[in-house]
Amino acid sequence: MNLSIRPRRNRQSPAIRDMVRETVLTPGNLIYPLFLQEGDENTPISAMPGCQRWCLADLVQEAGEAHALGIPGVVLFPRIPDELKTPGAEECYNDDGLVPRAIRALKAAHPTLMVITDVALDPYNSDGHDGLVAADGRILNDETVEVLCQQALCHARAGADIVAPSDMMDGRVAALRAALDQAGFTQVSIMSYTAKYASAYYGPFRGALDSAPKAGDKKTYQMDPANTIEALREAALDESEGADILMVKPAGPYLDIIARIRDVSTLPIAAYQVSGEYLMIKAGAAAGWLDEDKVAMESLLGIRRAGANMILTYFAKKIAAVL
């Protein structure tokens, strides 16, 4: 064949493939989600093999090991005891609560570790929703935002580097930015869950925290999986309100959303590889049908290739060790 152009020449050896590789994944692109609970013991999460709810002492050790592998940050998700859950979610802004104590312990042990906190009411709300619930079942937007501001300030006082509102209430980014700035926390960043879809992929996570809604669903505040343009509207709003990082959740089934937001925003983009994505890979590997490390790596490369600067993934520690 008389071919002047042969693309395979750029694939013929590992050295050439490395040299022309377009997308690079490093431990610095990963954020490690960690579950925590009260007490002195750890509890394995049956629906998420390899994950557990950590007691505080072991949480600090696990985060330190991940940080030593080059992972820059962790994000915290608490399992709150049922007796502390109330309709007003007051425990979420208790300065002596589980999350503030964890933040202080992590920053004391690992000063260079970036600590990110989830800002939402579902772990603390006796109704299991991300917002306050009215008597008629409506999720109250503005009243919820007031509580979220108190929660974010509580985390900032404890030393959080980034607060990540995952509630999908309207206007919460602007309100959080104003509250943080007025309290002198201008250095605390906001990683906004910008396009958080009402996804079936969250099931194992809700079981891990016992945070599923007691009634109804989350479709009046989380986004319709059918919508793309709406995500661009949410991104524009969050950017204008003062978000520092925009997030898409889930990641794998929404690569097109990551790419679309990447095209229109100059802000860094995070993507959350959620519990359902993780479990499918783990289950396939456990059955002998998939190579876990290779499939996990490829899935993360795909998320990076779509445009994500950082990825929240339960594979973070394992993949960082491989890398």
Residues labelled as active-site residues: 196, 249
Buried b (16+ CB within 10 A) or exposed e, 216-239: eebeebbbeeeeeeebbebbebbb
Question: 45 near 84, Cβ under 8 Å?
Answer: no
Question: 102 near 76, Cβ under 8 Å?
Answer: yes
Provide φ and ψ at 245, rounded to 5°: -140, 140
The span from the CA of 200 to the CA of 218, in Å, is 11
The span from the CA of 323 to the CA of 303, in Å, is 16
Q: CA of 232: how far to CAs of 90, 145, 248, 259, 306, in Å?
A: 33, 22, 11, 11, 15
DSSP state of 223: B
- On whether 234 is known to bind a ligand per the annotation, the reply is yes
Q: Which residues pair with 311 in a beta bridge?
A: 30, 271
Annotated binding site: 234
Annotated binding site for Mg(2+): 234
